[in-house]
Amino acid sequence: MASIQLYDTTLRDGAQREGVSFSTVDKLDIARKLDEIGIHFIEGGWPGSNPKDVEFFKKAQSLALHHSSLVAFGSTRRPISKAQTDANLQALANAGVKAVTIVGKSSDLQVTQVLETSLEENLSMIADSIRYLKAKGLTVFFDAEHFFDGFKANPGYALRVLEVAAEAGADCLVPCDTNGGTLPNEITVAIEAARKLTTTPLGIHAHNDAELGVANTLAAVNAGASQVQGTINGYGERCGNANLCSIIPALKLKMGIDCVTNEQLAKLTEVSRFVSEVANLPPDPFSPYIGSSAFSHKAGLHVAGMTKWSGSYQHIDPTHVGNQPRVLVSELSGKSNIIYKARERGIDLPLQGKEAEKLLEQVKLLESRGFQYENAEASFELLLHRAKPDYQPLFTLVDFMVVVESRRRPPTRRSPEEALSEAIIKVKVGTEIIHTAAEGNGPVNALDDALRKALLQFYPSLAQVKLVDYKVRILEESVGTGSQVRVLIESSDGVEEWRTVGSSTNIIEASWLALADSLEYWLIKQKAAAS
């Protein structure tokens, strides 16, 4: 099969996703990361449409890209005008890049209903624009907008558009599934028809409105397309674009097309998460290949198979894309999950036969009471430590009391009542019992401060630990305020983050359990690192 060109449009089409707005610096940073994974063409934006993209192309001149070429995007000239005087085409020619992409209509209905011009004038617009840009010494890619819808309604005209673009000198013809509703078999038929028409290379630009962006892209490649357009994480307008994070490994690992090197492929997960961070969007844990759950294993039967053969429940080796397998522990687990997790976390336990069964039963019992360890691995690791015959807790709660008192501020301030929270706790460290109290901004904060006040006397390094996230989930909504609740706490020491869980019908007790686990987990880690 012919080599494949990877064309990324995250910085333009991807930025059209609802809620995404990249700054110029963001776009420059993303371009550098795309270069690291071997993307051949990076579409930087539309320099004729907004000042930000103009600034990007100016600053991009200093980018030291090793594998990628920048592409500027624009449209054909306007109806009844000249290419030489078209401001959009002039902006493309002056963008400081060697390749440009222009978009033109290939659906007769789009031409007459949206452009409101004649079919012949549309063909002239396409041909004039391509010739103008080619005369400037540029590589020109032609995006045939609405091609597949146009092909179904009037195949003769859709193909004529490609033919005119090829005759004008386009370096690649890219049929676009702009509305994202075409089926893979329809993609194949249309690409094969285009392939018979011209020897100019073909591409594919698919949207994901029918959840078929990746499937349609791969179908087009099988039918003869040699340029693949898409975005990182599938970002894009409406339901998004074809996801390069799924397309790239499918091409290389499934279809045997060496579009990137092994080393570049291994950076795919890192780049996906980097773009998520820059876009200020949470990474989708369930994304194929690069999601944190893409290679997670929960069922005991699956984990048992994984311990014998890593390929038993994984379609690829996750390290190929920079990801890693994860084993989850829940009420659906078997002994294999417990044994695997203990080994994974370097905990020496005699987990054979009855020991593993006993710990598994404990997990199942706790999960029936609202605990969940899939996203609270620090709490699960504590269960493993506590299963050791010689385990001695670093501190033990004797009792606690939390008082919430409503106080009215001085009437001159005309402020609402404010609640004062105070926690009183007794904690045993070794043979000593410490009795402390603290006020806080709410009962959980008061508990946290009181516990730290007691423990810092013995473990001053705990001052590094901060609570960074606190979530409460009601587990039995029908019971109302008397329902079981689960509290998930995320903590950090500035270097690493970890999550712990607590569950109770009392939200304060659930919070205490998660909070105490958080501090004890960190102390155990520090003790192990020092030994």
Q: Give the H/E segment covering residue 42.
A: strand 41-45
User: Mean pLDDT throughout 243-255?
Assistant: 98
pLDDT tens profile 425-479: 999 998 899 999 999 888 888 988 999 999 999 999 888 999 888 888 876 655 5
User: Mean pLDDT throughout 335-341?
Assistant: 61
- pLDDT reading at 496 higher than 60: yes
Please classify residue 417 by burial: count the beta carbons closer than 10 Å to its beta carbon, then call 0-12 exposed, 13-18 middle and 19+ buried.
exposed
- Given a contact cutoff of 8 angstroms between Cβ atoms, the answer to whether 518 and 500 are in contact is yes
Q: Give the H/E segment covering residue 379.
A: helix 377-386
pLDDT of 376? 73
pLDDT of 442? 85
Confidence of residue 351 (pLDDT cuts 50, 70, 90): low
pTM attached to this predicted model = 0.74
Amino acid symbol at 490? E
Give CA–CA dist 213/426, Å, rounded.
59
Confidence of residue 194 (pLDDT cuts 50, 70, 90): very high
DSSP state of 296: E
pLDDT tens profile 279-334: 999 889 899 999 988 887 666 566 566 566 666 778 999 999 999 876 655 544 55
| Between residues 116 and 406, the one the model is more confident about | 116
Show the CA angle centred on residue 328, arms to residues 324 and 331, nearest 5°: 165
pLDDT tens profile 23-76: 999 999 999 999 999 999 999 999 978 889 999 999 999 999 999 999 999 999
CATH topology for the 5-279 domain: TIM Barrel (3.20.20)
Confidence of residue 124 (pLDDT cuts 50, 70, 90): very high
Give CA–CA dist 339/352, Å, rounded.
8
- CATH class in words for 395-458: alpha beta
pLDDT of 235? 98
pLDDT of 6? 98
Domains of the chain, by residue range, sit at 5-279, 296-367, 395-458
Confidence of residue 405 (pLDDT cuts 50, 70, 90): confident
pLDDT of 420? 79
Give CA–CA dist 531/523, Å, rounded.
12
Confidence of residue 525 (pLDDT cuts 50, 70, 90): confident
Question: For the chain, what percent of residues have pLDDT higher than 90?
Answer: 58
| Strands ordered across the beta sheet of 432-440 | 396-407, 418-429, 432-440
